Structure 1
Amino acid sequence: MDDVSSEPDPRSPSAEPSPDGSAPAETAPDVARGGPDAAAGPGPTDPPPSAPSAPSAGTGPDPTRPVVVGPQAMRKPERTETRMKDILGAVLILIPIALLIVGVGRGCSFAPTGPELDPGAGPTVDAPARLTEYARVSTFGLRVPDVPWRSNSTDRGPVQGGGTAVRVGYLTEQGRYLRLVQSDASEEGLLATEGGPGSTAEGVTRAAGRDWVTYRGNNGEPVRIATLPGSPTVRLLITGSGTDDEFRALAEATVRARVLPPGGQTN
């Protein structure tokens, strides 16, 4: 007797077991095969199928739209934002410049004969006391001029070509500046150090009974040098924006001043 194949009838419901091992569920008859359910259509009590309604505006995000999480696209800054950043940057740059201009303007003003400084601005130095200190280590005597001006600086340093220079800066009553230099250096070395390269000779000026060789420094200010008698050789140099009368006043006061002996010696 021939074996009859046990292939399932394609018209019968699927008999595949469910994943949890329970009895297989009957599948609904295929409407395409013309079963009794296919011809009947929807029952009288079944509501007709309707399309899903779109969410109304203002009721929240669409739950069917996927939410995108991650870095957002860069946006170009608005024109107002860019202008505000530029304005703030410019203000931050201009503030220190304005403060610097105000500070310089308070301490210095323009004058045809040279810059004028505020007589009350800047530090005040006790010139006689400082010259006394310098004399203790000096190899030549130092003069202490008696002038009615305020001293705002003192200095002691080397000179080009050898020698030492002792400097005192003064502010005149009209706010002009003069610097007195006492040195044992040569005239050429003293001029190169105080007047700068390119200084040119202009002649001789007579003041305080001495001949002062006059040069024009590289900054445009006159530089006058006189050689004092005696040994060791000492030269005086006066330069700055002071007038001729102020130069002569400082020259007279220096030549006639008391002399501090070198090396802390006493007279």
Structure 2
Amino acid sequence: MSARPDPGTPSPDSSEPAGPPAVPDPAETSGTTGAADRATAGGTGPGPVPAADPAAAPAGAAGSGRPQPPPVTRRIPEAGPQAMHKPARGDASVRDLIWACVILVPVALLIFSVGGSCSFSPGTPAEDAASAPTVDAPARIAEYARGSTFPLRLPDVPFRVNSTDRGPVEGGGTAVRIGFVTPDADFLSLVQTDGSVEGVLATESGSAGRGDGPPTMRGTVQAGGLTWEVYGAEGGEPFRVATLPGRPEVRVLVTGSASDEQFRTLAEALVAAPPVAPGGS
């Protein structure tokens, strides 16, 4: 029994040239594939349609003749500089609190340390007299006397000696200074010199450095058995000058913010103090 020729196959005797084989439509060939296979194998009747191969390439896969869609590519974001963000309100508050503590703690310690030597009073702060520095006045006066040409005195007063000094006087001579702090935190300065009245006034008032004349005399006062000439501007601190008895002549000057009563206490103690002879003898 001979096979029937396929009507779609050209005869070998055909004069038409053979062209490229037509691409069958999958929809048209899907129903006849099984019949054609059975015909080729020599079968004559319909048979069961073989199951589709799961591994078979899907329609439109490579080799099917249809264009392939471009592959889908996931774009991975690149790492880069992050945008600056404003710190949270809570973080900023804690940071500001820490900086405030760093600044305020040293200031508080400074105020605490200074507060021990100052006391509050309406107007201006006053120095605590008990915290003022203390000088070994007897030792200093003895030292100055060894190099002095005139006797020195150290008055015994209820005031604290917080400074001593020795230096030249305008116009010639030497001045030995003793600074006192009263219990009321006022000041008195005692100057002993062999210089002139004009010279010691110019030196202690600072008028020599400014080019001004000496302070103007305003009158006299009696204290410690001495006559003191009072110099200075109206309303300013007075400069009281007197000459101690004896030879060589020694002039003394007292100035400062202390009261007249405290000045008189110093004047009386000065006259009563034993002189320390020049040269330390």
Category of TM-score, reference length = shorter chain: 0.5 to 0.7
Aligned equivalent of 2:205 = 195
Report the counterpart of residue 254 of structure 2 in structure 1: 238
Could you say which residue in structure 1 is the equivalent of 2:168? 158
Seen in structure 2, the aligned counterparts of structure 1 residues 46 and 252 have a Cα distance that, compared at 3 Å, is same
Alignment RMSD: 4.2
Partner SS for 2:275:
strand
Give the 3 Å change call, closer, same or farther, for CA 123–219 of structure 1 in structure 2: farther
8 Å Cα contact 1:135-1:260 kept in structure 2: yes
Cα shift readout 1:53-93 (whole Å, capped 9, x = no counterpart): 99xxxxxxxx7324335x55555566666666666556555
Q: Which residue of 2 aligns with 1:176?
A: 186
**Residue matched to 2:76:** 65
Structure (1 or 2) with the greater strand fraction: 1
CA distance in 1, matches of 2:92, 2:102: 16
Partners of 1:195 and 1:218 within 8 A in 2: no
Contact 1:180 1:238 in 2 (8 A): yes
Q: Give the fraction of aligned pairs with identical amino acids, expressed as a percent.
A: 52
Q: Contact (CA 8 Å) 1:124, 1:151: kept in 2 or not?
A: yes
Stretches of structure 2 lacking an aligned partner (at least 5 in a row): 1-19, 28-52, 62-68
SS in 2 for 1:194: helix
Check 1:123–1:228 CA distance in 2 against 1; reply closer, same or farther (3 A cut).
same
Structure 1: how far apart are the matches of 2:277 and 2:219? Answer: 32
Q: Return 218-227 or 164-173, whichever deviates more.
A: 218-227
Q: Which has the larger radius of gyration?
A: 2
C-alpha separation in 2, matches of 1:38 and 1:196: 126
TM-score, normalised to structure 1's length? Answer: 0.63
> Is 1:252 matched up with 2:281?
no
State how many pairs are aligned: 221
Aligned amino acid, residue 65 of structure 1:
I
Runs of 5+ consecutive residues of structure 1 not aligned to the other structure: 1-33, 55-62
Give TM-score, length-normalised by structure 2: 0.60
Deviations 1:87-108 (A, max 9, x none): 6556555555555555555434
Mark the CA change 1:193 to 1:111 in structure 2 (over 3 Å): closer, same or farther: farther
Distance 1:209 1:154, change over 3 A: same
1:251 positional shift: 0.7
